[in-house]
């Protein structure tokens, strides 16, 4: 691997030190804000000039994190924060790559997950630190040309001078040592064929300068040798890697399999509502939403997305690039419905044709929003069931900021947890707690059998006394009908 710190600056790095959390936007994603900085080490052999990085065959989660890199220019030991910046020689762009599949194997140290050859691209230009205001820098990351990360150093939890001073308390920082200063929100996963670009520039108009874009292409590498800890991935790790969840978002929901979902989808929403009411659950309806296409039905496990009211400065930071809305769409899967909380404000769109089409291609079961729908004519042609609070031509940024995914939300007046069962039809949309889904489905199907029997008798001219609900002799007649229909009896 070509080491740009050596080739460009003539220095030999002895250490690559990375900060765990330093941007509030990233800390919010993680669900924790540290009181003090914490660090991990990366091997110096991970330094590279960009170009290509290999994701080993048989692995899945190659995470990228655009960062500002500091290169130490003069030795620093127990330096005061007031003068610590003077020990930084250069600033550059870096990409803190990591293989989440191996993170469990060295929990905390990140040794194998983060230290692969080429896992720390840095460059292309190294800007003299003396010419820069460390509080006036910006880092941006693009994935296949789409801006996915953007933040400025005036937001960091720990100033760069504070990091240098802290790290020098016990260990000497030597010329060539590299400090990765943390990544903002938007870090996610890249796959073979993707191109990641990171750029650091100055937002100070009097010191306009840029590192240029650090470009790294992801390619498919050979399978890892069958020795040591094997790659391992689960849904929680995927959510962490893609940035679609927080560890405190919600308790894990009981599993609901596809067969049970199919049973629930075959039953009327009104019938399910009656069964939930019998169990004391009256506020489980997502009110005010309507199907784009009459006759749409679905039953699926909930994924959630929360919008907050528009504030222009927040939209500039969180509403652009690979924001929470796009992250939710890109992580939705088969048997899942994306439920959006937009506070019942349908005066701007929360979903349109392109993102809805992407969700359909990914196999989503449905989309439900208590906000607005754009591009309704095009969306009507889709197979994907979509329920919305109203049609509106305006874009998202008129009213909403996409904020977070896979957290507890309120949609249409009811609470929705990730993993809840959501069922929709012409009568509306409702939420079923996963632990009740099987019993509700069984009782709902029995209710519909009884109502079919009752409806046939009413058509034959019978009155409803004793028939609806079933009692007395009609109970016996119902059992006989079940047997005649091949549905069994004595229920």
What pLDDT shows up at residue 363?
A: 93
- What percent of the chain is modeled with pLDDT above 90? 69
Please state, in angstroms and as integers, the Cα–Cα distance from residue 325 to each residue in 178, 383, 454, following that order.
34, 21, 46
Contact 373, 386 (CB under 8 A): yes
Under-70 pLDDT residues of the chain: 1, 244-255, 488-491
What pLDDT does 489 receive?
Answer: 55
Domain architecture of the chain: domains with CATH = 4-242 (3.90.850.10), 258-435 (3.50.30.40), 439-484 (no CATH)
- The closest alpha carbon to 337, from 347, 349, 323, 351, belongs to 351
What is the model's pLDDT at position 246?
A: 44
């Amino acid at each position: 691997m070509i080491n740009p710190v050596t080739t460009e600056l003539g220095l030999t790095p002895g250490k690559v030190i990375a900060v765990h959390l330093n941007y509030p936007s990233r800390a919010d994603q993680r669900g924790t804000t540290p009181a003090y900085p914490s660090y991990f080490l990366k091997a110096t052999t991970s330094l590279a000039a960009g170009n290509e990085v290999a994701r080993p065959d048989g692995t899945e989660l190659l995470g990228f994190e655009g960062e500002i890199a500091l290169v130490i220019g003069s030795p620093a030991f127990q330096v005061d924060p007031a003068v610590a910046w003077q020990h930084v020689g250069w600033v550059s762009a870096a990409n803190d790559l990591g293989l989440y599949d191996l993170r469990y194997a060295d929990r905390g140290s990140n040794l194998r997950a983060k230290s692969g050859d080429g896992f720390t691209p840095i460059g292309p230009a190294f800007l003299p630190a003396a010419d820069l205001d460390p509080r006036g820098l910006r880092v941006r990351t693009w994935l296949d040309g789409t801006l996915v990360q953007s933040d400025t150093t005036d937001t960091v939890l720990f100033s760069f001078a504070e990091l240098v001073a802290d790290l020098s308390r016990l260990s000497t920082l030597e010329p060539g040592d590299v400090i990765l200063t943390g990544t903002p929100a938007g870090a996610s996963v890249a796959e073979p064929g993707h191109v990641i670009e990171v750029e650091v520039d100055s937002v100070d108009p009097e010191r306009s300068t840029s590192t240029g874009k650090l470009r790294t292409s992801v390619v498919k590498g050979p399978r890892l040798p069958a020795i040591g800890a094997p790659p391992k991935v689960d849904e929680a790790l995927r959510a962490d890697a893609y940035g679609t969840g927080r560890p405190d978002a919600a308790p894990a929901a009981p599993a609901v399999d596809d067969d049970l979902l199919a049973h629930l989808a075959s039953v009327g929403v009104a019938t399910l509502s009656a069964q939930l009411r019998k169990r004391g659950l009256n506020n489980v309806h997502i009110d005010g939403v309507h199907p784009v296409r009459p006759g749409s039905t679905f039953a699926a496990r909930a994924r959630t997305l929360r919008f907050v009211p528009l504030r222009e400065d927040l939209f500039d930071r969180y509403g652009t690039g690979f924001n929470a809305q796009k992250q939710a769409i890109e992580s939705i899967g088969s048997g899942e419905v994306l439920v959006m909380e937009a506070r019942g404000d349908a005066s701007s769109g929360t979903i349109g044709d392109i993102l809805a089409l992407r969700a359909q291609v990914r196999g989503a079961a449905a989309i439900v929003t208590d906000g607005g729908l754009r591009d309704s004519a095009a969306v009507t042609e889709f197979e994907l069931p979509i329920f919305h609070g109203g049609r509106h031509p305006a874009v998202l940024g008129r009213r909403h900021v996409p904020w977070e995914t896979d957290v507890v939300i309120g949609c249409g007046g009811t609470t929705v947890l990730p993993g809840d069962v959501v069922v929709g039809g012409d009568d509306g949309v409702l939420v079923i707690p996963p632990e009740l889904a099987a019993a509700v489905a069984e009782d709902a199907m029995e209710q519909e059998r009884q109502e079919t029997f009752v409806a046939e008798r009413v058509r034959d001219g019978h009155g409803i006394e004793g028939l609806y609900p079933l009692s007395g002799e009609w109970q016996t007649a119902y059992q006989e009908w079940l047997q005649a229909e091949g549905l069994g009896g004595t229920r």
